[in-house]
Structure 1
């Protein structure tokens, strides 16, 4: 028997953007524990805006498990928050009731800024660096600084060690801005991995005295610097295997009809980012276009060339968005469209 360090991770009750929380318990197992072997665990919800002090018990229900190579016998345990009965989902539990389909594939492109001393890495005190241009996929100290690449490379390794389906990294358009991509089959599986990847990045940055800024427009909507998105690439069995122009056009009509419903769950403050500039469509419009990064939905050339089959990219979700809610909303709109 070995003692394992179980790091229970959950989303708190803060709005409009929940915070990641975690705490550790020690349990003995003969080998790396399976999800079924992990017990529920209580916590003080009055300290996380999920309960009142006079009735503070909340319950953590494990839903996904990953190895944590930063610790000897380390285990990362993604959890849902339940009411004291351990059965009823807590009102803040955005995972328990979402639409899910293992045939629905999602790929999220998570953009973020690295901040130190109140400003993005590489920004001079009291001013701005050279304009955007050389930073996207940039190389060299003047473009990416001294510790940013070290952080993103280490984060990549931690995710791969954990079994997270991390698909890549790159420096982004603004200085101090980066991106990583997560792919998963099924909305819950992909979203679980995205939240754990976010957790690993935030925790990693502690030792570098750096913060991760997920706000979608941290430099302000009136400044000529890109915001941060979390573009959602998606497909279904039908889109991949059958598709067709008629179905595609009906799907885009459903997306247009549900514009407000999508924007409502695509992340707060999106009006600061979706201005029609910086490769975005205005927040009150829906458009789609082939390889058009300024459209609401970008249609890859491969999709058209393959007979309107494959994946599509919704560019509107922002970097603060809840991937559980985003994936569920996309699936809800897809479900409205009859197959020819």
Structure 2
């Protein structure tokens, strides 16, 4: 459950004659001291203004919380825009705030901005300016009102996308007419693990030890089976408030691990929504004093890893005869297995072992209702002859811009040779 922020300044009460602890002063004595405004009492802080913090019976009235919840809308048209971008590791999120003169409805209304790329591992110190281009807007669930979260991508001053800007290439693929005409849908299942702050051990686990084996935790209920539900629920509501297309959430197989689903989303929107949802989750865990990890195998041994299964369909897959289109897509995916694996997240080899509901990283496979395959096709899709496929290979730390655009590129734009296609079809027992 999120913790109320405590004041960072330690207030001290000093008198010329005696000193006593704040806890030894009764409420009546506090009232007397405050009313008299005696010269014997001085409240000191590093700030240039004076704040009187009332203490009574061990509790604190936290004035900071009132300011954090302050609604400035009746007093000004100005809003706060939180510019969010991806840092040098390709997975870390960064953000900073600026004041905008009035509410906006579209990213084009927002100014470009810059940041120090040498401090994020994205530019040299002698030429450190990186330019942020606003690309997507979401409502800010933390500040409320007309304030916004802004998903940005990053460019050099000359207008070239920097290496960690994967959105730029994804936008090019999604703007291709062949892709646009197929209206690609994505449903992304983001798994994550919550860790205790000081020991970096999963939430709910005994420190230095292990809980009972997996089995009762998946979608479990109870204090001995569910750890971090308040964080999951807070994140769910915050995403709905922000306008993220979140469609559900559940406790996962490993205790302290959770999942939420975003979609169906069309094209580049899928990546924007996942990145913003990750940012909101980071902020919530920050407030709760819990560490978020997207590591694909946070605990070695007989424990499930964390993935980001990506459900995908095109217009042709969703129409009559779509199952044949799905099988053709699977054939293409099999021929580019290595390219996809190399782009599906760091450390994924520790997760894709052929155990714990995963396929081997070295072997491509597909099956109906088989969660141990690279690509799973649902029973309903087989029965109806149309629908979607699920790519179970992406790791929890994958870049959604990369994964979604690569799926579209491989299945809609890339064409294998006839020889390779025939061999792959025979190997996978596909008739297309």
Q: Does 1:319 align with 2:401?
A: no
Partner of 1:273: 351
- 1:110-189 equivalences under 5 Å are 110-116=190-196, 117=198, 118-145=200-227, 148-189=228-269
Q: CA deviation at 1:186?
A: 2.6
Q: 2-side partners of 1:246 and 1:155: how far apart?
A: 38
Q: 2-side partners of 1:45 and 1:129: how far apart?
A: 42
Which of 349, 362, 372 is equivalent to 1:284? 362
Partner of 2:281: 201
Do the aligned partners of 2:317 and 2:323 also contact (CA within 8 Å) in 1? Answer: no
Do the aligned partners of 1:250 and 1:337 also contact (CA within 8 Å) in 2? Answer: no
Higher RCO (CA-CA < 8 Å; seq separation 6+): 1
Report Cα offsets for 1:260-287 as digits up to 9, x if no partner. 0110111111111010000111001111
Partner of 2:88: 13
Report Cα offsets for 1:57-114 as digits up to 9, x if no partner. 11000000011121043210000101113x3212221000122145000011000100
Structure 1: gaps (5+ residues): none
Q: CA deviation at 1:310?
A: 0.7
Structure 2: gaps (5+ residues): 1-75, 417-431
Q: 1-side partners of 2:295 and 2:187: how far apart?
A: 20
Which of 314, 317, 334 is equivalent to 2:411? 334
Do the aligned partners of 2:81 and 2:97 also contact (CA within 8 Å) in 1? Answer: yes
Rg larger in 1 or in 2? 2
Instruction: Give the structure-2-normalised TM-score.
Output: 0.74
Partner of 2:136: 64
Q: 1-side partners of 2:401 and 2:333: how far apart?
A: 18
- Which structure has greater helix proportion? 2
Which of 205, 208, 224 is equivalent to 2:302? 224
Do the aligned partners of 1:187 and 1:324 also contact (CA within 8 Å) in 2? Answer: no
1:181 alignment partner, SS class: strand
Q: 2-side partners of 1:155 and 1:108: how far apart?
A: 16
Q: Give the aligned CA root-mean-square deviation in angstroms.
A: 1.5
Partner of 2:99: 26
Q: 2-side partners of 1:123 and 1:245: how far apart?
A: 44
Q: 2-side partners of 1:243 and 1:162: how far apart?
A: 37
Q: Does 1:52 align with 2:132?
A: no
Do the aligned partners of 2:192 and 2:306 also contact (CA within 8 Å) in 1? Answer: yes
Which of 115, 127, 144 is equivalent to 1:43? 115
Do the aligned partners of 2:104 and 2:110 also contact (CA within 8 Å) in 1? Answer: no
Q: 1-side partners of 2:219 and 2:201: how far apart?
A: 21
Distance 1:283 1:105, change over 3 A: same
Distance 1:210 1:231, change over 3 A: same
1:202 alignment partner, SS class: helix
| Number of residue pairs aligned between Structure 1 and Structure 2 | 330
- Which structure has greater strand proportion? 1
Comparing 125-134 with 329-338, greater Cα deviation is found at: 329-338
Partner of 1:234: 312
Q: 1-side partners of 2:269 and 2:109: how far apart?
A: 19
Report Cα offsets for 1:135-182 as digits up to 9, x if no partner. 00000110013xx11111110111000110000000000000000001
Q: CA deviation at 1:41?
A: 0.3
